[in-house]
Amino acid sequence: MSRVGKKPIPVPSGVKVQIGDQLTVQGPKGTLTVPLPQGIRVQQNDGKLEIQREADEYAALHGLTRALAANAVQGVSGGFTKELDIVGIGYRADVKGKVAIFTLGYSHSIEFLLPEGVDLRIDKQTHLVLSGHDKQLIGQVAANIRALRKPDPYKNKGIRYTGEQLRKKVGKSGATGGKK
């Protein structure tokens, strides 16, 4: 039984919802569409969206559709942010328009084109704040930026999410375990 799917979604003022083959949510930050799978219905009652399923076989899609709709409503009204930290000597980032330029210890700098709907703010050259209205897009861009230089478990260098805990591994010791 889906407990997530039964929870109603409050629609803030300034957000318009159109229900058809797909759910279209329009607000001050932008417009998002959520696909409505077969067997799932959406109703709008006095400022709340209610997601309903036709049969128990659609239970998984029920919770998924409700979560996607709630993320769309929150995204167009308030937006989402994701924060990353760059750790390492000489590692830094800069943004020029829609292009982020990363210096990550390679022989060249990396230019990363930001997609439409994603804004990047950089504090002190090492703290990145991604913001936008599409939660999935923000998460994907953050993962792509993190993949440019993944956190190294031996030196703790690289790009990581703010607050991400890393396990520091012990390096190998020099004299033991070699050939005699």
State the pTM of this model: 0.81
d(CA 22, CA 135): 18
Domain limits, the chain? 3-77, 80-161
Q: Looking at residue 177, what is its pLDDT?
A: 55
What is the torsional sign of CA 89, 138, 148, 163?
Answer: positive
For position 11, what pLDDT does the model report?
Answer: 86
Report the 10 Å Cβ neighbour count for 85.
16
Please tell me the CATH code under which domain 80-161 is placed: 3.90.930.12
Q: Which two tokens stand for residue 140?
A: 């994907």
**Which one of 1.10.3720.10, 2.40.30.10, 3.40.630.10, 3.90.930.12 gives the CATH number of domain 3-77?**
3.90.930.12
Residue 82 in tokens: 């994701």
Looking at residue 176, what is its pLDDT?
60
Q: At what angle do helices 135-148 and 59-77 cross, to 10 degrees?
A: 80
Query: What local confidence, expressed as pLDDT, does residue 140 receive?
Result: 92
On the 0-12 / 13-18 / 19+ scale of CB atoms within 10 A, 20 is exposed
* 80-161 matches 3-77 in CATH topology: yes
Angle CA(80)–CA(86)–CA(89) in degrees, nearest 5? Answer: 170
Mean pLDDT by 10 residues, the chain (180 residues): 77 86 87 88 86 86 88 88 89 89 88 89 89 91 90 86 83 64
